[in-house]
Amino acid sequence: MAIRRWKDSCRCVGGSDLTVAFHGSLLRFRALESGGGTCCGIVAALETNLNKTIPALFTAGLTALVLTGCNSGSGSSQDSARGPQGPNILFVIMDDVGIDQMKVFGYGGTIGPDLPNINAVAHAGVRFRNTWSMPECSPGRAAFFVGRYPVRTGINQAIGPNDLATSQLSPYDMTTPKLLKKANYESAMFGKFHLAGPENNEAENATPSTLGWDRFYGWVGGLPGSIDTSAGGAAPTNSHMCGFIPGELAKGGARTGACYQPDNSCSVITRTSPDQDAAGLQCLASGGILVPDATCGIPPASLDFTRQNGYYVSPLVSIENGDVEVVPLTDARARGYRTTIETDAAIDWIKSRPSDRAWMATVSYSAAHTPWQQPPKKLLAGHVGPLDHLTCTDSTLDTRLIQDRMTEALDTEFGRLLVETGLAKRGQDGSLDYDPKATNTVIVIVGDNGSLAAAVKLPFDLTRAKGTAYQTGVWDPLIIAGPQVVQPDREVDHMVNTVDLFQFFGELAGLDVHKEVPRTVDSVGILPYLTDSGQGSLRTINFTMGGLNEQANGGRNGPCVISTACTVIPTSKSVCQDNQGVWWGAGHTDSSVLANPDGDGYLSCAAVNQARYKNGDSLLNLVPESSVAIRNDRYKLVRNSSEDYVPATDSFAMEIVDGLYEINQAAPTPLLDTADRDLLPGANAETLAVYNELRTKLEDILASEPECPGDGNMDGVVNGEDLGNWARIAHAWGMSSVYDFVTGEFRDGKTDNRDETIIQANLGKTCERTHAVY
């Protein structure tokens, strides 16, 4: 159904139309801005079924609807009244790189990765040594970009293909790029998105655009695909665990071969020096597939350029000003090492920016998330030899070394990013020469959550890592440098949460975030830490939260068994296997999985434990389904919840366990929330008083976002605008959306008449705005 386009001279305050549906009729209104002020006029275009009339629409309370659309407060993207242009912002996200990996923070020891370029920026800025994110990537990244805890966004764990739109960033939320548009910023993101879509979202691959980014170049779904053990079809036996033909002959490798590209062009690649990457890895990094010990000719029929391959072949999405291009795997742009692709795209965009408009570039690196796969040697320090002798799945030592090298490769490309965009230069010895006052650009570097268990560096606790609210799972590096920093090369030990970055970005642009965003924001401003070296703590508490995302009809991720633990964190069978786990969910194929009556896998870790118990096997430890924590300056309360199997009654029961710990940031050996340091067993009166105070605040936060049935656009009122939004989505999409409300016990993943009934039943309801707890 086409809606008439209005003249370019008329534009809507807030940048969107209002569309209302009434018994099958669609009416669109546009608020008009004229002259120097804003005056709301009414222009309507009507497309109606033959048996509907305009008067019928007006009897539905049309006037109230129109008034709610005027003066929405969202502002113009070119608002020149906000004062001078703010600084440019380069925001760098590292994936699964917790503070335990960072020598510059005093941790990691001698075995941590070498990161000379990141270290140079850290020494020229401020190192925040007490920063929490969320336990997993999607809720952690949402925290950056909307300044709101998972209790408000509904994003509790990494977004998977079955997670509903209500566990993705809402198109109605105020994201960082939407916020910065109020100060005339351009915004771009390169690399991993993983905030919404492409599944269960009407915007599909366009979600970065609907959430406000002007430019996106990367991976909407976020995660790299599994490693292609057939090496592109060159090894039909699926024998190459790292996705390429290795250089060692003893491992079935080859020193030379024909490297075919998707366009059938070919070149012979030969490893001429032991210091070079294997010919197979050289070919893979160039976008090709190596046929070992062959010369160029007719490519074998077995070569398959449509297979994903970890960090080297990924389904790329390019968005420019709303135009979406899904780049096929056979396109050279989708082939090559991810970290380099991410960096190249950021360099190109930053260099093309006009000098008279501020920008924010988010370089959202995929590294060092699994699957762990060797980076090209050219991205590593000279003392590091080729890595093709390492295995990607069989050896814990090997995979840890690969993960370290992936982080080092990220650091190398980060340094190139700064040099090629003019934000830094190289010294005579090749080291990074970074002067934060040489450009009007603020650099922010952060991890999205703690380290994955298999990568954790001592003395941190690998049994309480990513996916939990313990220190190893949520304690992240945060570095900020720029001309605003006084007394650089210092540390801040005060509590910071990554939701605070949202307000920080607003502060840089001269915006009052809590006034600009018409809903609860959990951010605290952190700019004072840069401008005042004596700034006291701006938080009295810190908070983190992870749990289960919503799936249709109460579904959840299948169980994944890793060593002696069971978890529902992996979003699919392939992700489970990429993390060296055994999938016990639907479609399992591992012979170690016990048969069950349904024959199609187990629904939960509790069901896995039931099956193991009845088979005479030991029960597995459970990675918590929900893990939340709160702390003050000295103590931390962790609450874990999981459904588990109770052998005595042969039933399932929810188990909730609290723990209280004294923690600090001492380097190199901090006080951590390890199992042997729980203060609650045998607690005295003083300890119990601390526990009760933290518990009360924790429960206040968890209860601070009450349901508002019918309010899909998050404006705090259920009205005709919600009906209009529902109608558009229900008629054009019909599947999962933010207008899919709980009908019964769960959401059903559909936007239909049952959801309209909920809106109608709550018309006129106003939901109280809650207050954040700092």
Question: Using CA atoms, how far apart are residues 132 and 140, in angstroms rounded to an integer?
Answer: 9
Question: What pLDDT, on the 0 to 100 scale, is given for residue 384?
Answer: 84
The confidence band for 84, taking pLDDT boundaries of 50, 70 and 90, is low
The confidence band for 4, taking pLDDT boundaries of 50, 70 and 90, is very low
Rounded to the nearest integer, the mean pLDDT of the chain is 88
Q: Is residue 429 part of a domain?
A: yes
pLDDT of 20 higher than 80: no
Q: Is residue 646 part of a domain?
A: no
Question: Using CA atoms, how far apart are residues 307 and 574, in angstroms rounded to an integer?
Answer: 14
Last residue of a domain, one of 76, 99, 119: 76
| Domain co-membership, 102 together with 43 | no
What's the longest Cα–Cα distance across the chain? 82
Residues 312-366 pLDDT 10s = 999 999 999 889 999 999 999 999 999 999 999 999 999 999 999 999 999 999 9
> SS3 for 330?
coil
| Domain co-membership, 129 together with 220 | yes
| Domain co-membership, 352 together with 280 | no
Burial of 723 (0-12, 13-18, 19+ CB in 10 A): buried
Q: Is residue 272 part of a domain?
A: yes
Of the candidates 310, 271, 267, 274, the one whose C-alpha atom is nearest the C-alpha of residue 288 is: 267
| Domain co-membership, 476 together with 376 | yes
pTM of the model: 0.88
| Domain co-membership, 530 together with 433 | yes
Of the candidates 549, 589, 543, the one whose C-alpha atom is nearest the C-alpha of residue 570 is: 549
Strands (E) across 294-374 are located at 316-320, 323-327, 359-364
Q: Across-strand partners of 28?
A: 19, 45
Question: Using CA atoms, how far apart are residues 738 and 744, in angstroms rounded to an integer?
Answer: 16
Q: Across-strand partners of 656?
A: 641
What average pLDDT does range 523-530 have in this prediction?
96
Q: What is the CATH number of the domain that holds 736?
A: 1.10.1330.10
Question: Using CA atoms, how far apart are residues 551 and 554, in angstroms rounded to an integer?
Answer: 6
| Domain co-membership, 204 together with 347 | yes
Count other C-beta atoms under 10 Å from residue 238's C-beta. 10
> SS3 for 708?
coil
| Domain co-membership, 470 together with 579 | no
| Domain co-membership, 416 together with 446 | yes
| Domain co-membership, 72 together with 110 | no
pLDDT of 545 higher than 50: yes
State both tokens at 131: 């920063």
Pick the residue with more confidence: 7 or 543? 543
pLDDT of 773 higher than 80: no
Q: What is the DSSP letter of 187?
A: E
| Domain co-membership, 503 together with 398 | yes
Question: What pLDDT, on the 0 to 100 scale, is given for residue 249?
Answer: 79
Is residue 139 within 8 Å of 156, Cβ to Cβ? yes
Residues 547-597 pLDDT 10s = 999 999 999 999 999 989 999 999 999 889 888 899 999 988 888 899 887
Of the candidates 179, 182, 181, 187, the one whose C-alpha atom is nearest the C-alpha of residue 353 is: 187
Q: Is residue 241 part of a domain?
A: yes
Question: Using CA atoms, how far apart are residues 580 and 759, in angstroms rounded to an integer?
Answer: 46
Tell me how far CA of residue 463 lies from CA of 184, 580, 673, 675, 769, in angstroms: 46, 15, 11, 9, 38
Q: Is residue 36 part of a domain?
A: yes
Of the candidates 97, 152, 56, the one whose C-alpha atom is nearest the C-alpha of residue 403 is: 97
Q: Is residue 654 part of a domain?
A: no
Q: Which residues contact 496 (CB under 8 A, 6 or more apart)?
A: 128, 130, 131, 132, 478, 524, 526, 529, 539, 542
Last residue of a domain, one of 43, 76, 109: 76
Number of separate domains in the chain: 5
Residue with tokens 């977004």: 159
Quote the percentage of the chain above a pLDDT of 70: 89
Q: Is residue 633 part of a domain?
A: no
Last residue of a domain, one of 255, 289, 307: 307
Residues 21-40 pLDDT 10s = 333 333 333 333 333 333 33
Q: What is the CATH number of the domain that holds 532?
A: 3.40.720.10
Residue type, 332: A
| Strand-pair category, 289-292 with 256-260 | antiparallel
Q: Which domain holds residue 234?
A: 229-307
pLDDT of 66 higher than 70: no
> SS3 for 204?
helix
Q: Which residues contact 664 (CB under 8 A, 6 or more apart)?
A: 634, 670, 671
Residues 227-248 pLDDT 10s = 999 999 988 777 899 999 998 8
| Domain co-membership, 21 together with 63 | yes
> SS3 for 371?
coil
| Domain co-membership, 220 together with 235 | no
Q: Is residue 469 part of a domain?
A: yes
